[in-house]
A and B are shown apart, each in its own frame.
Chain A
Amino acid sequence: MRSALAYTPRPGALQSASPGAAVAYLGSFVVVSFLFTNPLVLAAAGAGLVLAGLISGARGAVRSALWMGLGLALPIAAINALVVDRGETVLARLGHWPLFGQVDITLEAIVAGAVIALLVVVTVVAAAVYSSCVDPDRVLRSLRPLAGRSALTATLVSRLFPVAAADAGRLRDAARLRGPGAAEVGLAALSRRLLAGSLDRAVDVAATLELRGYGLDAPRVRRRREPSRFDRRFYCAAALVLAAGVAARVLGGNGFHTYPTVELTLGPETVALAALLVLSGLAPLRRRRRVRRRASSAPAPALEARRV
């Protein structure tokens, strides 16, 4: 079964853009998220990325990323609440725990954990939208002249990952089909078998690369230009988001502290940045061409002539 995160060609603006433009656009949300701890800015960056993913048709990838991000975020928030005892608002005193020492759950530590978790969710959503919308072949093609060996490794990994996922599915099925009298297959045995199979697969893929001429020291030719009319739009959106983020940060727009007590200030620069982040999520929108149609009430000239 195909992963929701796998690249799927669609006629979207983000898919048509060059890898550089797409990376700049999606990366700008992540960079701004790392500049701020203000939950409004982080939530806005997440909303902008979700919007961009949905407009680009990557609904499945966004959904998976949100689940995956949530799966990572909850333990982060919980662990932060347990290990950090800073903050003045103590919600619970859980006594002395081995390894942890005195455990006090504070509101500030929970909020700080939630902010880190939000940052993780934003990063995962950005990675998912990238994975689903940016053609890895174009990325590798642009990498190849710069770093041949790295591109070769990336090619092998990008091909072997889905193959290994399919192999794992088949091995799981075969394990379920074993008769009750056969030895049980645990996770360790399955993993060993999968690893051995993956090595065989890697050898086959490497042989195919050899046959395609990967080892050749071919003359370097001009790269094929893959023009996209959306590149400028994404570069502009990325520049705008980054500039606004840096400006808001310089102007003190973070306005959020967790310790010793939670303080949230929503200044105009913070609100403006949040609005800009959400609006930037609309960048992948493609304007639909309006097709001019003849008014249905007016008969076609030929028909009219016949009637006459």
Chain B
Amino acid sequence: MSELAIRRGAAPALAVEGLGYAYPHADRSALVDVSLEVAPGEFALLAGRSASGKSTLLKAACGLVPHFHGGEIEGRVGVAGHEAIVAGPGELAAVVGYVAQDPETQVVSTTVAAEIELPLELRGDAPADRARAVEEVALALAVPHLLGRTVDTLSGGELQRVALAAALVTRPRLVLLDEPTSQLDPVAGDELIWLLRRLNEEWGVAVLLAEHRLERCLAAADRVVAMEAGMVSFDGAPGEFLAWSQEADPALTTPAARLFSLAGISPLPVGVRAARRTLEASELAPSVPPGSPPTTVPHPGKGEGRQIRPLAASAFSATAVWVELERDEQPHDVLRGLDLAVGRGERVALMGRNGAGKSTLLRAAAGLVDTVAGKLEVPTGLALLTQNPSDYLVRERIGDELPGEPGMAALRTVGLEHAVDADPRDLSGGERQRLALAIALAGRIDGGELPGLVALDEPTRGMDRARKDDLVDLVTDLAGRGAGVVVATHDVEFAAAFATRVVLLGDGVVIADGPAAEVLSGGWYFATEVARVLDLPGVVTPEQGAAALRGEESP
């Protein structure tokens, strides 16, 4: 097929027919009889729980499956007129771009400019063409100021944009993205989705995006493909998908759709704007529920005297804490006179954009970084789980990681006492996380009593909603047993589900500190989808929203 014919849309950007695939030595197939088509210029969303086959389908579309991973494959994968099963990923590089979840592992050059230019150079483009293409894609992705920097000085959001630029610089017909926002804060995540939508509209590039947080990207999508156990379980418009998910798999639905469903309003909204329009059209003016806090300040902040002093015994206190780290060969104050107190039994969500100081605060509490001024106290001990639970797992048997009675006590705390002889690599992602937490807790459980503070740093990265619900149960249980639990997270819906209090950091200081319902219903980026739809103080969950719409007391 000629290049011109493809450009005019004669060939679909992606055509999958009867695709079945099994990884080498796997017990079951990762993909089973998958058939779907993505038209040129279409923006399709790939939904589904963890291990449903989304990532494998994306890898098949760019040629990594089976060329890189091996395994057995059947069926057909056509990408803009090329047969992906016959052609390798290198040959497909001209027509398809791929962006993975972890931006760290998808950069191969030292500087940003070289990283973006590399695919063109390997394709044999002339120097002048390369220079122009790099300039154009850098402008399109708003990264020209980064071109001269080295990749190891970039933030997660910047690195993800650079990876996207490297995937787009060859002007592919199709771009595949595997949970590209999972490591980004809400601001950077939203920006990336809308950037994709803009490129999709302006450049005509087809997009196939796998994502767990559907509320973030459903409104940008033309179509949704849902997967379950390696098969396509739904393929249709976003509005139809929401109606389908209510019945077939409620874990895939969005908070706004759940709000409408609970309130008995239809059609289910694909985004905040659609939800507001439906409410306005149906004259269902939201009202302040009787049980909600009497807030008159729409954006709660930490004004004078607003800092919360917990009544319970102290689990953590920071007084005028300063932490200095090196950035770009210059000393940089990451925490700037931060004050914070957390009591035992509290469930606190620590939020803020990338670089606000969340991880640094937890690391300082655990003694991994030194404070340069101020006082930081953890009077009854701390167990910290960092962002990558696999870092804690170094042995091939759980019992070897956690020997003796202290180890068994820790395993009982996280509900893994049955798996003492298992290999940590055989555990699911959620179980591995629990095991890592048990390793951090081991020996710190005194007669069944937990350490005063349990801290988790970004524990929901790449998690589907079912696993997040399990984590909410675990956090609630730990707090119920007397530990103050602090979770650094970007996930506002998760924060609304588990936290009683939200602390918002900005540039190393606390800028908002209050009850979760109050903080998450003020503002825009650090607000739940329900809060953005209804704009009512104290209403952040679908259940609260439905009660407000019915004029009932908040649950």
- Please provide the chain B residues from 383 to 404 with a CB less than 8 Å away from any CB of chain A in the complex: 383-386, 388, 390-395, 400-404
Collect the chain A residues with CB atoms within 8 Å of residue B406's CB.
179-181
A213 near B123 with CB under 8 A, answer: yes
Collect the chain B residues with CB atoms within 8 Å of residue A81's CB.
none
Collect the chain A residues with CB atoms within 8 Å of residue B409's CB.
181
A180 to B67, CA, bound (A): 45
Smallest Cβ distance from B283 to chain A, in angstroms?
Answer: 52
Interchain CB contact (< 8 A) of A179 among B63, B326, B368, B410 = B410
Extra contacts, 12 of them, besides A159-B109, A163-B104 (Cβ < 8 A), are A170-B386, A173-B363, A181-B409, A181-B442, A182-B443, A183-B403, A189-B394, A205-B105, A208-B106, A211-B89, A218-B122, A220-B124
Collect the chain A residues with CB atoms within 8 Å of residue B67's CB.
210
B118 touches A (CB below 8 Å): yes
B391 near A174 with CB under 8 A, answer: yes
A42 to B316, CA, bound (A): 57
Collect the chain B residues with CB atoms within 8 Å of residue A181's CB.
402, 404, 406-407, 409-410, 442-445
Smallest Cβ distance from A208 to chain B, in angstroms?
Answer: 5
Collect the chain B residues with CB atoms within 8 Å of residue A173's CB.
363, 368, 386, 391
Q: Max chain B CB contacts within 10 Å: which of A2, A181, A201?
A: A181
Please report A residues at the B interface, Cβ cutoff 8 Å.
1-2, 6-9, 60, 135-138, 141, 155-156, 158-159, 162-163, 166, 170-171, 173-183, 185, 189-190, 192-193, 197, 201, 204-216, 218-225
Which 10 pairs from chain A and chain B are nearest by CB?
Answer: A181-B443, A181-B406, A181-B442, A137-B114, A224-B127, A180-B443, A218-B124, A204-B105, A179-B442, A174-B391
Collect the chain A residues with CB atoms within 8 Å of residue B441's CB.
179
Known interface pairs A137-B110, A178-B440. Does A222 touch B386 (Cβ–Cβ under 8 Å)? no
A183 near B402 with CB under 8 A, answer: yes
> Please, what's the 1-or-0 string for B155-198, where 1 marks a CB less than 8 Å from any CB in chain A?
00000000000110000000000000000000000000000000
A205 to B149, CA, bound (A): 20
A271 to B497, CA, bound (A): 76
Collect the chain B residues with CB atoms within 8 Å of residue A159's CB.
107-110
A193 near B444 with CB under 8 A, answer: no
A216 near B90 with CB under 8 A, answer: yes
Known interface pairs A181-B407, A205-B108. Does A210 touch B391 (Cβ–Cβ under 8 Å)? no
Collect the chain A residues with CB atoms within 8 Å of residue B233's CB.
none
B110 near A180 with CB under 8 A, answer: no
A180 near B444 with CB under 8 A, answer: yes
B386 near A174 with CB under 8 A, answer: yes
B90 near A183 with CB under 8 A, answer: no
Smallest Cβ distance from A198 to chain B, in angstroms?
Answer: 11
B93 touches A (CB below 8 Å): yes
> Please, what's the 1-or-0 string for B326-369, where 1 marks a CB less than 8 Å from any CB in chain A?
10010000000000000000000000000000000001001110
Collect the chain A residues with CB atoms within 8 Å of residue B167's CB.
211
Please report B residues at the A interface, Cβ cutoff 8 Å.
62-64, 67-68, 88-91, 93-94, 98, 100, 102, 104-111, 114, 118-119, 121-127, 130-131, 148-150, 152-153, 166-167, 326, 329, 363, 366-368, 383-386, 388, 390-395, 400-404, 406-407, 409-410, 439-445
B110 near A135 with CB under 8 A, answer: yes
Collect the chain B residues with CB atoms within 8 Å of residue A182's CB.
401-402, 407, 410, 439-440, 442-443
Residue of chain A at shortest CB distance from B127: A224
Smallest Cβ distance from A79 to chain B, in angstroms?
Answer: 35
B88 near A170 with CB under 8 A, answer: no
Known interface pairs A173-B386, A210-B90, A224-B130. Does A137 touch B111 (Cβ–Cβ under 8 Å)? yes
A11 to B226, CA, bound (A): 50
Residue of chain A at shortest CB distance from B167: A211
25 examples of A-B residue contacts, CB within 8 angstroms: A7-B110, A7-B111, A7-B150, A8-B150, A135-B110, A135-B111, A136-B110, A137-B109, A137-B110, A171-B394, A173-B368, A176-B368, A179-B406, A179-B442, A180-B406, A180-B444, A185-B394, A197-B390, A212-B122, A213-B122, A214-B122, A215-B88, A216-B93, A221-B124, A224-B127
A9 to B93, CA, bound (A): 29
A220 to B410, CA, bound (A): 60
A210 near B111 with CB under 8 A, answer: no
A214 to B68, CA, bound (A): 13
Collect the chain B residues with CB atoms within 8 Å of residue A136's CB.
110
A2 to B125, CA, bound (A): 33
Collect the chain A residues with CB atoms within 8 Å of residue B98's CB.
211
A222 near B391 with CB under 8 A, answer: no
B93 near A212 with CB under 8 A, answer: yes
A211 near B62 with CB under 8 A, answer: yes
Collect the chain B residues with CB atoms within 8 Å of residue A208's CB.
100, 105-108
Collect the chain A residues with CB atoms within 8 Å of residue B363's CB.
173
A179 near B383 with CB under 8 A, answer: yes
B394 near A193 with CB under 8 A, answer: yes
A214 to B123, CA, bound (A): 8
A162 near B402 with CB under 8 A, answer: no
Collect the chain A residues with CB atoms within 8 Å of residue B366's CB.
176-177
Known interface pairs A178-B442, A179-B406, A219-B124. Does A190 touch B394 (Cβ–Cβ under 8 Å)? yes
A215 to B63, CA, bound (A): 13
A100 to B398, CA, bound (A): 49
Q: Max chain A CB contacts within 10 Å: which of B67, B68, B110, B409?
A: B110
A220 to B127, CA, bound (A): 12
Known interface pairs A9-B149, A207-B68. Does A222 touch B126 (Cβ–Cβ under 8 Å)? yes
Known interface pairs A177-B440, A214-B122. Does A6 touch B386 (Cβ–Cβ under 8 Å)? no
Collect the chain A residues with CB atoms within 8 Å of residue B440's CB.
177-179, 182
A35 to B123, CA, bound (A): 45
Q: Max chain B CB contacts within 10 Å: which of A163, A197, A224?
A: A224
B121 near A210 with CB under 8 A, answer: no
Interchain CB contact (< 8 A) of B64 among A138, A171, A189, A210 = A210
Known interface pairs A178-B440, A182-B439. Does A221 touch B119 (Cβ–Cβ under 8 Å)? no
Smallest Cβ distance from A128 to chain B, in angstroms?
Answer: 15
A223 to B326, CA, bound (A): 37
Q: Max chain B CB contacts within 10 Å: which of A156, A175, A177, A218?
A: A177
Q: Max chain B CB contacts within 10 Å: which of A156, A158, A183?
A: A183
Residue of chain A at shortest CB distance from B402: A182
A159 to B123, CA, bound (A): 21
A158 to B108, CA, bound (A): 8
B150 near A9 with CB under 8 A, answer: yes
Collect the chain B residues with CB atoms within 8 Å of residue A207's CB.
64, 68, 89
Collect the chain A residues with CB atoms within 8 Å of residue B393's CB.
193
Collect the chain B residues with CB atoms within 8 Å of residue A224's CB.
127, 130-131
Residue of chain B at shortest CB distance from A136: B110
A163 to B159, CA, bound (A): 14
Collect the chain A residues with CB atoms within 8 Å of residue B94's CB.
213
A182 to B435, CA, bound (A): 11
Smallest Cβ distance from A159 to chain B, in angstroms?
Answer: 5
Smallest Cβ distance from B120 to chain A, in angstroms?
Answer: 9
B394 near A6 with CB under 8 A, answer: no
Known interface pairs A208-B108, A216-B93, A223-B127. Does A8 touch B386 (Cβ–Cβ under 8 Å)? no
A156 to B118, CA, bound (A): 14
A158 near B110 with CB under 8 A, answer: yes
Q: Max chain B CB contacts within 10 Å: which of A156, A158, A173, A213?
A: A213
A181 to B98, CA, bound (A): 43
Smallest Cβ distance from B480 to chain A, in angstroms?
Answer: 20
Residue of chain A at shortest CB distance from B111: A137
Collect the chain B residues with CB atoms within 8 Å of residue A175's CB.
394
Known interface pairs A6-B150, A181-B404, A190-B394. Does A216 touch B442 (Cβ–Cβ under 8 Å)? no
